[in-house]
Structure 1
Amino acid sequence: MEGKENRDKFNRLIDNFHEGYYEVNLKGDFIFLNSSIARMVGYSKEEGLGTSYKKYMSNETAKKVFDVFHQVYQTGEPLHLEYEILRRDGTSVAIENSVYPLKDARGNITGFYGLATDITERKRMENALRRSEEKYRTILESIEDGYYEVDLAGNLTFFNNALSNILGYSSEEMMGMNNREFMDEENASNVYKVFNMVFRTGLPSKGVDWEIIRKDRRKRYIEASVSLARGSDGRPEGFRGIVRDVTERKLAEKMLESAKTRFESLFENANEMIITTDAEGYILRVNRKVLEISGYSREELIGESILKLAPPGCRGNYIGFWKDLLDGKEPRKELKALMKSGEVIYILVSGSVIRDDGRIMEIQYNAHDITHIKKAQGTILRLKDRLNS
């Protein structure tokens, strides 16, 4: 009777957990699930009891989860994994699951229990971050060159077909056209200043940016060179140069700047701690979540070794994680982290190495504070001990 009362009390406490909590037998059938788990899958607790975990995921994911259960059964050690579950309405939810062996009073493993957290929003942010980083690293340029010659007044006297294509006029229309006819006042004034400087100094000007207006009224960005053209007597008679349509490059630069801004925003506002270091482990960047949780300022961390966050006796774990990354592995480990206040928290860390032509550019560490999960685990164990006593 007392055991049942303890179990009922345990169930009520677990049911109020923000994290999902479940228990399955060795066949994988649910023998208990709290309200958070029920909300994740879209079924009631009563509907979920007795069903197999395989009901809520694809066959591929079910095999992955089975392998984890099997490994936990063989080793008796907990494991962490991420996967997607299928809700009743057909939508999917990304979860982070910590799997532990479920033991009876004699210590025999009779099933498994776990804590599951909905990380759908975090995954969305990670994917958005990844897409922005790809855009940030990609620049597309398309270049078409034109050639022109103008007299001292700026009237076209000779040009090639590429320039006609850039401006959108026929060759007949362009012959004798003044540069002011395909520019606004501001750009025409800038062109005059460049031409005037070249005329006075005799020195060519390269890489001058202007904005032109095509016949169809569309605006294009061009990069032009200007050289003084002289007659047979050596006297100036006009100007010549190369025109390159750099509109795509200009737009790409704007897109790059926009993508970079989005990337930095996603990095800074990510709902997880992100630290990047150089190949030797010295911190290059940290996001706001790191500062919020650790209590350090950005200035106190940048340039410091990441081992600054390792509690006494844990440096070897950090170094081992770093070596796994350099060996091409994708480690995912529980580590302890030392806060500025002296408090030690538990973090779940993953990482990746960013290389360029084989050279390590930076190492990125992504970490989640799982102290609440560890505390919840301790609470569960104490409740179970009380239940079994």
Structure 2
Amino acid sequence: MKQRFSNEAGRRKVVNLERRSEESERRAIQHDIHEATKRFEKIAEMGDDGIIVFDEVYQIEFGNTIASELTEYPKEKLIGMDFRRLLSEGDIGYLDQMHSGLGVDESKRLCTEMEIITKRGMKRDAEVCITIERLKQGGVRTYAYIRDITERKKYEMDLKESEEKYRNLFERVRHGLYISTKEGRFLDCNQALLEMLGYEGKDEFLQIDIAKDLYTRPGDRTAFQSLIEKQEFVKDLELEFKRKMGEKIAVLVTAHTKRDGKGEIVGYEGLMIDVSERKRMERELKEANEFLTNLIEGSVDAIFVTDVKGNILIFNRGAEDILGYRAEEVVGKMNIRNIYPPGVATEVMKKLRSPDFGGVG
């Protein structure tokens, strides 16, 4: 009997030791879990992204400070909330699709843009990336990394609007606008420049060699580059270009240098004005003036021209021979009253102003 009691006591002692060992092991595991959780939370709070962890039924288990600030919910209020409450109705479907795309692959990470609904009902643009963790007891846990991109989206929208305004202005200007590289290729141009130079499409135009296909004298390209890189700009520089089919045109170029982030010149931006018609008219006017001058100077008759006050503007060789004055003594220096007697000069001026003699002279 004594031996039996001794064995029973021994067994109870062993059981108690085993229980204490299991309890100690359980506490150690709980401590490790607690420490691991603290480390995760500390790491989660160090980042710039909101982090929300939820289970298979979308119940939130953890949310860091950034997530709390982004959603406007206190961290303790996030715990237990359905993650889908933070998403717009349309994005809930995207979330399901992302989950389907992940499957059970822990190595995958899927990202998309979503709208986060704050506690006050405001919408914030966010980039949401999710990844999963397979649990030992079965099921999965989802980690959602949320980055507020509201300001970035606003900037992108403002930039897009600005680019559209610039493009509209760029295309509506009646003169040719361009951006080119230092090496001699066009990067962009407006429709007016294509029409000026006889090209139907921009793709074809952007392939041309500027020095070879645009300048009638390739050396002018080198001179242009030397001047603009020395002064940083050129204004109304007259150059002769050729259209696609070879016709020569005169243009005025106003441009400035374009630099990269290091301050190196990488190209030029500018404006071209076709002055071929103006040059043609100037040439024709010059030819007409030369013809009239030769006609007047070649006449044996005395011909001189005055303004309405009688000041002499033109005095030909015939007038020099007949009246005895030299042109340089008369033009801009004498009045018709110095040529004619007083009464005659008055009568001449009266006739010159009369419609019967051609109107105001």
Tell me the TM-score normalized by structure 2: 0.60
Pick one of 123, 141, 144 that aligns with 1:241: 144
Is it true that 1:323 corresponds to 2:226 in the alignment? yes
Of Structure 1 and Structure 2, the greater strand share is in 1
Shift of 1:235: 3.8
1:71-220 matches, within 5 Å, as 145-220=49-124
Q: Given that residues 70 and 118 in structure 2 are in contact (C-alpha distance below 8 angstroms), is that contact kept between their aligned partners in structure 1? A: yes
1:309-364 superposed Cα distances (whole Å, 9 cap, x missing partner): 222xx332232002223345312211122224544332110222222123444322
Task: Report the residue type matching 2:93 in the other structure.
Answer: S
Q: Given that residues 204 and 225 in structure 1 are in contact (C-alpha distance below 8 angstroms), is that contact kept between their aligned partners in structure 2? A: no
Partners of 1:197 and 1:302 in 2: how far apart?
A: 43
SS of the residue 1:197 aligns to: helix
1:83-107 superposed Cα distances (whole Å, 9 cap, x missing partner): xxxxxxxxxxxxxxxxxxxxxxxxx
Matching residue of 2:215: 310
Percent identity, aligned pairs only, is 24
Task: Report the residue type matching 1:374 in the other structure.
Answer: K
**Greater C-alpha Rg:** 2
Partners of 1:359 and 1:164 in 2: how far apart?
A: 46
Partners of 1:315 and 1:198 in 2: how far apart?
A: 61
Structure 2, unmatched stretches of 5+, are 1-46, 293-304, 306-313, 317-361
Structure 1 stretches of 4+ with a deviation exceeding 6 A read: none
Q: Given that residues 105 and 132 in structure 2 are in contact (C-alpha distance below 8 angstroms), is that contact kept between their aligned partners in structure 1? A: no
Q: Given that residues 194 and 205 in structure 1 are in contact (C-alpha distance below 8 angstroms), is that contact kept between their aligned partners in structure 2? A: no
Structure 1, unmatched stretches of 5+, are 1-142
Q: Given that residues 126 and 149 in structure 2 are in contact (C-alpha distance below 8 angstroms), is that contact kept between their aligned partners in structure 1? A: yes
SS of the residue 2:104 aligns to: helix
SS of the residue 2:126 aligns to: strand
Matching residue of 1:279: 182
Q: Given that residues 272 and 367 in structure 1 are in contact (C-alpha distance below 8 angstroms), is that contact kept between their aligned partners in structure 2? A: yes
Partners of 1:178 and 1:215 in 2: how far apart?
A: 13
Shift of 1:155: 1.3
Instruction: Indicate how the Cα distance of structure 1 residues 155 and 284 shifts in structure 2: closer, same or farther if over 3 A, else same.
Output: same
Pick one of 270, 281, 284 that aligns with 1:365: 270
Matching residue of 1:295: 198
Give aligned pairs, total.
Answer: 244
Which one scores higher on RCO, CA 8 angstroms, separation ≥ 6? 1
Partners of 2:155 and 2:129 in 1: how far apart?
A: 22
Shift of 1:179: 1.9
1:36-62 superposed Cα distances (whole Å, 9 cap, x missing partner): xxxxxxxxxxxxxxxxxxxxxxxxxxx
RMSD of aligned alpha carbons: 2.7
Matching residue of 1:347: 251
Partners of 1:158 and 1:237 in 2: how far apart?
A: 15
Q: Given that residues 61 and 79 in structure 2 are in contact (C-alpha distance below 8 angstroms), is that contact kept between their aligned partners in structure 1? A: yes
Task: Report the residue type matching 1:169 in the other structure.
Answer: Y
Matching residue of 2:125: 221
Partners of 2:189 and 2:140 in 1: how far apart?
A: 60
Q: Given that residues 102 and 110 in structure 2 are in contact (C-alpha distance below 8 angstroms), is that contact kept between their aligned partners in structure 1? A: no
Matching residue of 1:139: none
